[in-house]
Amino acid sequence: MPNAVQMIKQDHKKVEGLFQKYKKTKGQDAKRRIAEQAMDQLEIHAKLEEEIFYPAAKRELEDGEIIEEALKEHSMVKDLIEELRAMESEDESFEEKWSELVENVQHHVQEEENELLPQVQDTDIDLAQCGEEMQERKEELMEESESGTAARSGAARSAKSRSGRSSGRAARH
């Protein structure tokens, strides 16, 4: 089982892979599915760091400022995700907002991997134990996310079919 630092880096790679896949994908629906996957992954990753990793790191690090900065960055990313989820894929500003999210996440990852994680590795944190806790919580969050994603996509299909029916009725009159 990966330790906490390895797990964080694996999550970073997975999200970066989704960002690259999004960039290469054609079609709004396909891009939106990839964006939703990435946003789900980011939300789970942020919760793991905020609930388990950051509190452990903050207890051990002499300067907690780096954690405060990371939490601010998480907040910005969460706000962007909320805005993106409220948008239709066809919305002209979706791509611009998506690019902003990608930039923010990449900046955060770079700081975390180059500054925070090396500092944490020099502390007495039990990274193996922290990794186990994070893995357990991740499994819980993924189950919650899967049921939430199903509900979101079901609601979107339902809204689409309602709008399709109403426009069909209007066309017949």
**Do 18 and 30 meet the contact criterion of CB atoms below 8 Å apart?**
no
| CA distance linking residue 2 with residue 91, whole number of Å | 40
The total of structural domains in the chain comes to 1
Kindly indicate the confidence band of residue 6, based on its pLDDT and cuts at 50, 70 and 90: very high
Structure tokens at 150: 């199903």
pTM of the model: 0.83
Q: 169 burial class (0-12, 13-18, 19+ CB within 10 angstroms)?
A: exposed
Kindly indicate the confidence band of residue 63, based on its pLDDT and cuts at 50, 70 and 90: confident
Which residues span the domain enclosing 128? 4-172
